[in-house]
Amino acid sequence: MNPNYKPIVEPFTLPSGVQLKNRVLMAPMTNSSSLEDGGVSEQELAYYRERSGGAGGVITACSHVSPEGKAFINEIGVDDDSLIPGLKKLSGTIQEQGAKAILQIYHAGRMASPELMDGKQPVSASAVASERPGSVVPREMTEEKINDTIKAFGEATRRAIEAGFDGVEIHGANTYLIQQFFSPHSNRRSDQWGGTIEKRMAFPLAIIESVKKAVAEHAKVPFIVGYRVSPEESENPGITIEDTLQLVDVLAEQKLDYIHVSVRGFWDGSMRDETDTKSRVLLIQERVGNHVPIIGVGGLSSPEDVNKALDVGVPLLALAHAIIMEPKWVEKVINDQENEIRTTLPRTAQKDLVIPDALWNMLINVPGWFPVV
């Protein structure tokens, strides 16, 4: 392989003691290819199998911890013990190819789709609708509902452990429930769960505690616990980078294995202030990178892109579009075949790329999402 790319394939040991064989992970991406009951499908297994040979870790598509937390049709479920056998197939499929298997766990909150919940009203921190077109006003969660949801994350973690996963990623990003509690837009509460920024952190921290408790009780070997965060949101009032820097200060004290920064572009500046051009990933790396590993993501496609991101000190990088278009991305870097890495999505390549029908239809039909040729 090109010696310039050696940093990409250096192993990395997470705080829990789990070692990743290199610095590249497959980013969590919705594929809407599970069974109707949340079970893992054969097409999904094939899709992950094809992409798990090179990456150090594979973070799955989001899996809901509660039936009322679904945002996508045919997404993975981790809300019932009956789903454990299918989840076990998924973890084994990823691990057999050499990657660590990390299950992303989440609750959609007010972003849940009533159509996927028999018409039920979604729930959230407060009865405030999202500003997205067609959003419904959610039901404010009671104290009992909040505590049940915190327990649901712990139970989801237990199931992930029983299903053989190497870890879980707590999805505290992308406008879903955990972020909704942290956001001053969606959280207008005046009790212990809202108000000051410290109180808006209470729910995310309770989720982390519930997950870590399940790990302590059920995991017999080191188990990864990561947390995904969105640095900002566009709403007013909304999460600012100043809010998030206070949040990651606290997250860095929680003995997490990593913080995964969810942004559109690794080098992108603020979505709230176009004059603020400093990379949000780098701001978080500079703030807490000495205390907890950071995963960067966003628009990285070539080995040069990944190297450049590693050069600024971010230790781990997740590939999304790149690993859909080129499942053998890492292998081609290792085997001196970087010139053969696909950078477009040919309309004839579904079978070669082992992409499930539902995901393929999204990739091909959403204008401007992928470079379809």
Could you give the 3-state DSSP secondary structure of residue 357? helix
Q: List the helix and strand counts (H, then E) for the chain.
A: 13, 14
Output the six-digit token pair for 233: 């949101």
Among positive and negative, which fits the CA dihedral 22, 254, 170, 131? negative
Could you give the 3-state DSSP secondary structure of residue 276? coil
The residues facing 140 across adjacent strands are 124
Yes or no: say if 134 and 190 are a contact pair by the CB < 8 Å rule: no
Strand pairing category for 294-297 and 167-172: unpaired
In angstroms, the Cα distances linking 243 to 233, 249, 263 are: 11, 10, 16
CA distance 72 to 74: 6
Long-range contacts of 143-146 (CB under 8 A, 24+ apart): 143/191, 146/193, 146/203
CA distance 133 to 247: 29
Closest-CA residue to 306 (of 291, 322, 292): 322
Q: Name the DSSP letter for residue 24.
A: E
CA distance 196 to 188: 10
The residues facing 225 across adjacent strands are 168
| Residue found by looking up tokens 């109180």 in the block | 199
| Residue found by looking up tokens 């139970």 in the block | 155
Please tell me which residue in 48, 176, 227, 258 is annotated as part of the active site: 176
CA distance 46 to 27: 17
Backbone phi and psi for residue 211, each to the nearest 5 degrees, phi listed first: -65, -45
Output the six-digit token pair for 113: 């789709």
5 catalytic? Reply is: no
Q: Active-site residue numbers?
A: 176
